[in-house]
Amino acid sequence: MSNTGTLTELTNALLDAVAAGALVKLTIAKPTPTAGDLKSIDIRPIMVKRELKLSFTYHHQTRDVVKNYPPHEAAALVSAQLQEHFRAAKLQTTQGDVQVSHVGGQYQLKRHAASVTTAPELSHDRAKQRLVTSENKAYLHALGITDAKGAVYKNAQDKFRQINKYIEILDGLIKELPPHDCLRIVDMGAGKGYLTFALYDYLTHTLKLKAELVGVEFRRELVAQCNDIAQASQFKGLRFVEGSIADYDCAGADVVIALHACDTATDDAIAKAVKADAALIVVAPCCHKQIRRAMTRTPDGLAFLMKHGTYTERMSEMVTDGMRAQLMELSGYRTKLFEFISDAHTPKNVMIVATKLATAPKEKEVVALRATLAKAKADFGIEMHQLERLLAQ
């Protein structure tokens, strides 16, 4: 049977299972290089406003993306993914399982007895499973997220979602790190400590890791408040220190985090982390004033955009963070930039993740990165990025 015939047989089996109410799950796996950072796709039936849909969960390396499609559109997408980006699929139904694998340039299809005999609940309104729960968390009450009984306040729902999204991202990143006897983490610009407390709680009580976490914060009253809450919560490996990001020594840190550090404070945090040889750097930049002021030229063909202040601001953000990623890659890191939470919850929604590579970049890669940086600076009339200056010191 041809590849097209095999995939048609799979998608027909999928649609038959949907029609019979027998679909449990379809998993698409074994990505090809063309899939990028997309690792797998899980597909299940759900009801959305009384209409049957197939819900696709796209598992990327650092995030999940969920999209819902009508069954026939979903079947076409399954076929396209297997033709272009993946080489295996497993369909589970209460009537029987179908497995497709790519062998010797051809797809092979095998049928098996059902591994699951009960169809799943189709409700789309089930409570989301969160990594950080609100019950019995004294620190969340002390921080004004929950009441004394653990119920999240209505005006703190967005903050609680943000906390869980942060933990979801960091969970995957930290699990990819080599084992440590004690994981040392520095949270630069910890503020009121929402993430700092939740991360320490998750690492020590859920993952059962030994961790030391330091929150660095400039405001003395917040440092005192957070240390009191940490002591009351008996978080012995968590402490907060007073100081600026620029002055704090990150030596010995395995992970450095800086969320919403304003303007060049993000560069200070990145530079400190790079010089400490941190295994993982996670930043969510805030404000991009340095490059915005430094942009003295408009690249050819972009004048029609750059005449609008809003687009100039957005361009300065993209240039700032793109150059940060390039500079970290020059320092021996693999980087990713992505939106980590909807801008409906916060406009500060871009995250940069940098993972230390085992070996330094090759000379050819260094030359290419430096050429890209030089061209970007020339195109926008930028003399020097602040992170470039800090890393050269």
H/E element, 14: helix 3-20
> Can you say whether residue 90 is alpha, beta or left, with left for phi > 0 and alpha for psi between -120 and 50 degrees?
beta
Query: Do residues 47 and 36 touch, judged by C-beta distance below 8 A?
Result: no
Provide the 8-state DSSP code for 206: I
Q: Concatenated DSSP letters for 58-97?
A: EEESS-EEEEEE-HHHHHHHHHHHHHHTEEEEEEEETTEE
Share of the chain above pLDDT 70, in %: 95
**105-109, 115-119, 133-137, 331-335: range with lowest mean pLDDT:** 115-119
> For position 1, what pLDDT does the model report?
52
Q: Which two tokens stand for residue 31?
A: 């990505």
Share of the chain above pLDDT 90, in %: 72
Q: Is the model more confident about 123 or about 172?
A: 172
Per-residue buried b or exposed e for 272-296, using 16+ beta carbons within 10 Å of the residue's own CB: bbbebebbbbbbbbbbbebbbebbe
Average pLDDT for 128-136: 82
CATH of 138-392 given 3.40.50.10490, 3.40.50.150, 3.30.450.40, 3.30.300.10: 3.40.50.150
> For position 119, what pLDDT does the model report?
75
> For position 343, what pLDDT does the model report?
44
Residue 340 scores a pLDDT above 80:
no
Closest CA to 196 of 244, 158, 232, 237: 237
> For position 215, what pLDDT does the model report?
97
pLDDT band at residue 345 under the 50/70/90 scheme: very low
Order of all β-strands in the sheet with 238-242 = 238-242, 211-217, 183-188, 255-262, 280-286, 350-356, 333-339
Q: Is the model more confident about 149 or about 340?
A: 149
pLDDT 10s digits, 170-183: 998 998 898 889 99
Provide the 8-state DSSP code for 295: -
Sequence-distant (≥ 6) Cβ neighbours of residue 38 within 8 angstroms: 31, 58, 59, 60, 85
pLDDT band at residue 2 under the 50/70/90 scheme: low
Residue 349 scores a pLDDT above 80:
no
The count of other CB atoms within 10 Å of the CB of residue 65 is 12
**30-34, 98-102, 119-123, 202-206: range with lowest mean pLDDT:** 119-123
pLDDT band at residue 5 under the 50/70/90 scheme: confident
Q: Is the model more confident about 340 or about 117?
A: 117
Q: Phi and psi at residue 384, in whole multiples of 5°?
A: -160, 140
Q: Is the model more confident about 289 or about 216?
A: 216
Q: Is the model more confident about 132 or about 130?
A: 132
